Amino acid sequence: MTAQNHAIATPSAQGALPGQERYVAPIEETPLKEVDSVDESQPARSMWSEAWRTLRRNPLFIVSAVLIVLVLLVAIFPSLFTKGNPNYCDLENSLNPSSPSHPFGYDLQGCDVYTRTIYGTRASLSVGVLTTILVVIIGGLIGAVAGYFGGWVDAVLSRITDIFYAIPLLLGAIVVLQMFRTSTSIWKVVFVLALFGWVSVARITRSSVMEAKNLEFNTASEALGLSRGRNLFKHVIPNSLAPVIVVATTSLGTYIVSEATLSFLGIGLPTTVVSWGGDISAAQNLLRVAPTVLFWPSLALAITVLAFIMMGDAVRDALDPKSRSL
C-alpha cells in the first residue's frame, strides 16, 4: 500500500489536472516532535527578556560588563583607587621610575602617572556618556519623525541629515572648536561632538521606525483612535529601540576616542582638566626617553573603548533574533 493511499486530498485538489493534486498526511502519521513542542505553562517572553537571557550566557557580555563597571567605579570614586592629587607635581620627581607607592612612575613635570590616569577616567568617560545621550535624543527624534510621518517632512529632514552626514565628525569638531577656542569646557566638546554625531542614529532610527509603523499593532492603535503623535511615542519608538541601543553602545567608545584625539591636538579639553588625551599629548615627545608615561593612559583608553565595543557586539547579537541559538 502506497503513502498516497493513506493521504487525504485537500479541497484544492478537487478538479485539478492529473499530477497536480495535493495531499496532506494524516495527523497520526506526523506526530508532534519534541523540538516543535511549546511549554504552554511558561509565560511568554518579550524581546527584552529574551535578549537578557541571551546576554547572561554570553562570555563577551560578562567580560565587557565587568570592565565597564570597573571603569565607572574609577570615574565616580577615584579616591577609592588613589589618595594622591593629580595636579600635584614636583620637578624633583621628573621621569622617576615606578615604585611601590607610585606604580606608574612620574611624567616630565613630576606628576604621578597613576593618579592622573585614574582621575583622567572621569573626564574622558563623561564626554563619551553625555555625547551619546545627546546623540540618541537628537538623532532619535529626527529619525523617528522623518520615518513615521514621511512625505515632505521626511524629505526635508533626510536632506538635512545628508548634509551633516557629508561632514566628517573629527573634521567638523576641529573647525568648530577652533572658532571658539578662547573658552573650552567639557560641555562645549560634548555639544560639538553631538552636533556632528547624531546622523548615524537618525538614519538607523528612521529605517527602524519605517519598518515598525507598518506592523499590525500600529494599525490597530490607529483604528482605536490613538493620535499619530501619541502612537509614535507610545508604540512605534519603543519597538524601534533595539538597533538604536546597539549603535549607541558602540558609538560611546568612538566619542571617547574623539575626545582624546581633540585633546591630543590641543583643541579639546583645557589643560586644567585631567584627561587621557591631554596626558597622551603631553607624553608624545617622551616616547623614546620614558615610554611608560605614554603607555599607561593609552592602555586605559584602549581598554575602555574595547569594553564598549564588545558590549555593543554582545547587545547586537542578543537583539538580533537570527543570531539566537534554539
Which residues pair with residue 24 across a beta bridge?
8
In a domain, 200, yes or no: yes
In a domain, 178, yes or no: yes
Region of 19 (left: φ > 0; alpha: ψ -120 to 50; beta: rest) is left
Rounded alpha-carbon distances, angstroms, from residue 37 to 31, 76, 296, 321: 11, 49, 55, 19
In a domain, 11, yes or no: no
Which residues have C-beta within 8 Å of that of residue 173, sequence separation ≥ 6?
189, 192, 193, 195, 196, 258, 262
In a domain, 234, yes or no: yes
* pLDDT at residue 67, rounded to an integer: 94
In a domain, 159, yes or no: yes
In a domain, 108, yes or no: no
- Tell me the mean pLDDT per 10 residues along the chain, length 326: 48 55 62 55 65 83 93 93 89 86 88 92 92 94 90 91 90 88 81 92 91 77 74 82 88 91 86 88 85 91 93 83 52
Query: What is the count of structural domains for the chain?
Result: 1
In a domain, 27, yes or no: no
Write out the residue range of the structural domain in which residue 75 sits. Answer: 58-82+114-323
Q: What's the CATH number where 202 sits?
A: 1.10.3720.10
Q: Can you tell me which residue has the cell 555625547?
A: 131
Closest CA to 54 of 246, 324, 244, 313: 324
